[in-house]
Amino acid sequence: MKMLLMVEFPHEPFNALVRSGKVGEIMNRVLETIKPEAAYFTEHDGMRSGIFLIDIEDPSEIPGYAEPFFLNFQANCKFRVVMSPLELQNAGLEELGKAWA
């Protein structure tokens, strides 16, 4: 199942990791561990943030994606299920619309 993992990094300890020169090493280790299909870094509500496209087979895998961010950055993690256009076409929206009209 494709998911977006949205991570919000608090200013601390991230600032301290930047100052010490360790942030790149830690972030690379996390990314090598979670192996996202895509990774983007941005700002969200004034905070450093990351958006990662991941593929999980079982919900029990979620801690393996979140804990590296929790433990290294005290980050907030949000998971959202996403669909491709083909998956949306296969969702049966027309039938659902008729059933609930």
The pLDDT of residue 24 is 98
Residue 10 — pLDDT band, cuts 50, 70, 90? very high
- Across the range 1-27, mean pLDDT stands at 98
The pLDDT of residue 91 is 95
Choose among 50, 83, 86, 85: nearest CA to 65: 50
Q: Any idea how long the chain is? A: 101
How much is the pTM?
A: 0.91
- Across the range 62-85, mean pLDDT stands at 98
Q: Rounded to an integer, what distance in angstroms lies between the CA atom of residue 52 and that of residue 4?
A: 6
Residue 56 CB-density burial (10 A; 0-12 exposed, 13-18 middle, 19+ buried): middle
Q: Rounded to an integer, what distance in angstroms lies between the CA atom of residue 54 and that of residue 36?
A: 5
